[in-house]
Amino acid sequence: MFASEFLEKTMWYPTILGFLVVFFALALFVGLIWLLLGTNLGARLGFLISFTAVTGFGVVLTLLWLTTASPLNTIKGRIPEWKVIEIAKTPADATTAEIRNIEEKGTQVGKAKQADVKAAVDAALITKEEVKAEGPLPEDANKFARFATVNDYTITNTYELGGGIPNPLNFEFKHKPLFAVAGFCAVKDLGQPFYVPPPIKPNCADPSDEHAETGFLVMERDLGSIRVPPMVAFASTTLLFILGLCLLHWREKDEQVAEQRAAGTALAPVPVKV
């Protein structure tokens, strides 16, 4: 754990080294089974049995990934999250046409949803600092950053608009975009010493102050693809498992035909010359 925190991340570690560890682990796991079966049943039959067994194990494993919330570090896609689109002075000034009338047609979210939106707002508005162990920051990491800490601003109102579950009977196969708009403002400096706790509900700074940042953060809900990779893995391993079963079945049929031909040749009368 300490090495992963302090070692410099390079292409060799952890990328190439990670692929090599997985490759050799699979090679040993599958190769030893193949070697054991090959010495007893022959190389071809041993390969077919080990191939079918491994793919069958893959079917069971990927089915568990698909149907349960596994605590292990299994393959998974993107988790649902809010994606920040832009910052506008007012919703009417936004370039996203769908939210220009969100204050009239949208719904004001409750505290539970507002906490979810608040996490995305904090990640966008707070300036991120580079951490040596994690490498350089992306170029757009601080694209929407306006404040140094979460105590420098407060959220006034949060609205949602759109969304819904598609109805296939109405030929709806995609989710409607869900937008959220969070109004924010810089907190008024009360001149209190650091040991005095801030007020429970901070007040916004004077809008006439040119240093007082105010605006609306426009976000769109990304539903993610958390179950897409295990679904693809389940479909792939199922096809390979069916292929392995078919190969074993065809080999058995060929052996039966060969045995029947050998038995017919052995029982056939031998012509006698007179």
Domain count, the chain: 2
Six token digits for residue 196 = 């005095």
One domain for residues 188 and 250: no
Residue 46 domain-assigned (yes or no): yes
- Provide the edge-to-edge strand list for the sheet that holds 81-88: 81-88, 214-222, 178-186, 153-162, 107-108
| Residue 225 phi, psi dihedral angles, 5° rounding | -145, 50
Q: What is the mean pLDDT of each run of 10 residues along the chain (274 residues)?
A: 59 81 85 87 91 93 84 79 92 92 89 85 90 75 89 89 85 87 86 70 76 88 90 96 96 91 70 61
Please tell me whether residues 128 and 157 are part of one structural domain.
yes
Residue 273 lies in a domain: no
Largest separation between any pair of C-alpha atoms in the chain: 128
Same domain for 172 and 117: yes
The percent of the chain in helix, strand and coil, each rounded to the nearest 5, is 50, 15, 35
Quote the tokens at residue 271: 């012509």
Residue type, 12: W
Predicted TM-score (pTM) of the model is 0.72
Q: What tokens were used for 9?
A: 């991340």
User: Quick one: 100 and 176 in the same domain?
Assistant: yes
Domain that holds residue 8: 2-75+227-267
